[in-house]
Structure 1
Amino acid sequence: MLTVSNLTRRFGKNTAVDAVSFEVERPAMIGIIGRSGAGKSTLLRMLNRLTDASEGVIAFEGRDVTALRGAEKRAWQSDCAMIFQQFNLVPRMDVVSNVLHGTLNRRSTMSTMFNLYPEADIHRAIDILDRLGIAEHAPKRAEALSGGQQQRVAIARALMQDPKIVLADEPIASLDPMNAQVVMDDLRRIHEEDGRTVIANLHTLDTARRYCDRVIGMLHGRVVFDGTPEQLTTGVARDIYGADAGFSEASTSTSIETIERPGVAAIRQAEAAL
C-alpha cells in the first residue's frame, strides 16, 4: 500500500527527518514514538504533503505522492487525512459544520463561501458523530466541548473525507487519561472496522504497546526501531529515547485508565447528559 523510501527533510543546516524508509503492505495501526524533536511530526506532515520532502519518495498503491501538484495533491490530502494535537477546529462554529469541513477539498468555491452543504453530507456527518458518541453535541459550538470531545470532532472531520490513511499527530497529548483512552479506542476501531491504516505519533510507550500492531521508533530523525509491541523492551526503549541506564518507562506513561467498553459507553452517556 504505502512505501516510504529515503525520505529526508532539511531545514537549513538541520536535518529533521533523515533517510527514513519503511513499507506498509496492508492496513495496520502503527505507532511512531520518540523523544521531542525526533522528527515524528515532520514525517507525518510529509506523508500528508503539508511539508515537502527535501529528498526521497512516498508511494501509495504505485503512485508517486511526492510528485503530486495542484488538484491531485489536494485529492491525496483527502485520502490521507490529518488529525492534530490541538484539534484545529473553528471554535465559534457549530460541531457539525466543523465536521463538514472535511469535504472542502471536493466542494466548489461558491458553496464554500456561502457555507452550503448537500443534505446527504449533513446526514453523514451526524452519523459519524453518532458513531463517535457525540451526535448530541452537533448543534453546539466547538469551543463548548471538552478537550476529548473536540478531538473526537476532529476525528469525525477526518472520517468525513473517507480517507484510506488516517494520520494522527500526538492525538492524546493534550488529554487526561480517561479521554485519552476514549480517543485511542476510537482510532483503533476505525482501523479494525473500516480497514483503514492509522499512523499515530505517540509520546508514550504504554499507549503504543496497547493499541498498535507495529511500532516505529525515531531518534535524531532516523528510524532506530521497527517491530512489534512485544519487541519494544525497556532496553530498546532506552535506545529510542537516547537514555542511559537510569531510564524509567514511567516517564513516558500516560497512565491511561483501563476501562472496559461498557464503561466507555457509560462515560459517553454521562457526557451527553451534561
Structure 2
Amino acid sequence: MLEISALTKRFGDRTAVDKASFVVTEPAMIGIIGSSGAGKSTMLRMLNRLTDASEGAIRFQGQDITALTGRARRKWQSRCAMIFQQFNLVPRMDVVSNVLHGTLNRRSTLATMFNLYPREDVETAIEILDRLGVAEHAAKRAEALSGGQQQRVAIARALMQDPAIILADEPIASLDPMNAQIVMDRLRRIHDEDGRMVIANLHTLDTARRYCDRIIGMRAGRIVFDGTPAQLTTGVARDIYGAGADFSESATSTAIEQDEAERPAARMAEPA
C-alpha cells in the first residue's frame, strides 16, 4: 500500500530525515518513536506533503505522491489526514463546524465563505462526534472543551475527510494519562473498525507497545529499528534514544495506576 524509498529532507546543512525506507503492505497501526529532533515530525509532514522531500519517493497504491502538485496534492492531503499535538482547531468556532472543516478540500470557495454545509455532511459530523464520545459538545465553542475532548474533535475532523491514512503527530503529548489513554483507544478503534492505516509519532514506549502493530525507531534522522512491540526491548530502546545503562522506561510511562480489581478490564471499556 505505502512505500517509502530513501526519503530525505535537508534544511540547509542539517539533514532532518536521512534516506528513510520502509514498506507497509496492508493497513496497520504504526508507531514512530525517537528522541526530540530524531526526524519523526518531518517524516509525517513529508508523507502529508506539508513539507517537500529533498530526495527519495513516497508511493501509495502505486501513485508517486512526491510528484503531486496543485489540486492533486490537495486531494492527497484529504486522503492522508493529519492530527497535530496542539489540535489546530478554531477556538471560537463551535465544535461541529470545526469537524466540518474536514470537508473544505471538496467544497466550493463560495460555500466556504458563507459557511454553507449540506445537511448530510452535518449529520455525518454529528455521527462521528458521537462515535468519539463528544457529540453532546457539538454546539459549544472548541475553546470550552478540555484538551482530551479537543483532540477527539481533531480526530473527528480528520475522519470527516474519509482518509485512507491518518497521521498523528504526538497526539497525546500534551494530555494527562487518562485523556491520553482515551485518545489512543479511539485511534486504535478507528484502525480496527474502519481498516484505516494509522501512523503516529509517540513519545512513550509503553504506549507504542500497547497500541501499535509495528514500531519504527528513528535516531538522528535515520530508521534504526523496525519491528514488533515484542522486539522493542529495553536494550533496543537504549539504542534508539542513544541512552546509557541508567535509561529507565518508567520515566516515560503514561500508564494509569489501577486497583487489582480493575486490571482485567478490557482496553476498550475505559470511560469516554
Same fold by TM-score greater than 0.5:
yes
Q: 1:56 to 1:257 in 2, by over 3 A?
A: farther
TM-score (ref. length: structure 1): 0.95
Counterpart position of 1:4: 4
Counterpart position of 2:246: 246
Whether 2:270 is the aligned partner of 1:264: answer yes
CA distance in 1, matches of 2:257, 2:69: 44
Whether 2:120 is the aligned partner of 1:120: answer yes
- The letter for the 2-side match of 1:194 is D
How far 1:6 moved relative to its partner?
0.3
Counterpart position of 1:15: 15
Q: 1:109 to 1:257 in 2, by over 3 A?
A: farther
Contact 1:178 1:257 in 2 (8 A): no
CA distance in 2, matches of 1:146, 1:48: 27
CA distance in 1, matches of 2:31, 2:268: 26
How far 1:252 moved relative to its partner?
2.0
How far 1:260 moved relative to its partner?
4.1
CA distance in 1, matches of 2:256, 2:15: 33
Deviations 1:123-156 (A, max 9, x none): 0000000000110000000000000000000000
- The letter for the 2-side match of 1:59 is R
Counterpart position of 2:58: 58
Deviations 1:67-104 (A, max 9, x none): 00001000000000000000000000000000000000
Counterpart position of 1:209: 209
Q: 1:203 to 1:55 in 2, by over 3 A?
A: same
How far 1:256 moved relative to its partner?
4.0
Contact 1:181 1:257 in 2 (8 A): no
Contact 2:88 2:154 in 1 (8 A): yes
SS in 1 for 2:4: strand
- The letter for the 1-side match of 2:18 is D
CA distance in 2, matches of 1:96, 1:204: 31
What are the equivalent positions in structure 2 for 1:125-274 lying under 5 Å apart?
125-256=125-256, 260=266, 264-265=270-271, 268=272
Deviations 1:219-267 (A, max 9, x none): 00000000000000000000000011111111221234566457523xx
- The letter for the 2-side match of 1:183 is V
SS in 2 for 1:215: strand
- The letter for the 2-side match of 1:19 is K
Structure 2 runs not aligned, ≥5 long: 259-264
What are the equivalent positions in structure 2 for 1:95-106 lying under 5 Å apart?
95-106=95-106
Contact 1:177 1:257 in 2 (8 A): no
Percent of aligned pairs with the same amino acid? 78
CA distance in 2, matches of 1:182, 1:104: 27
Structure 1 runs not aligned, ≥5 long: 269-274
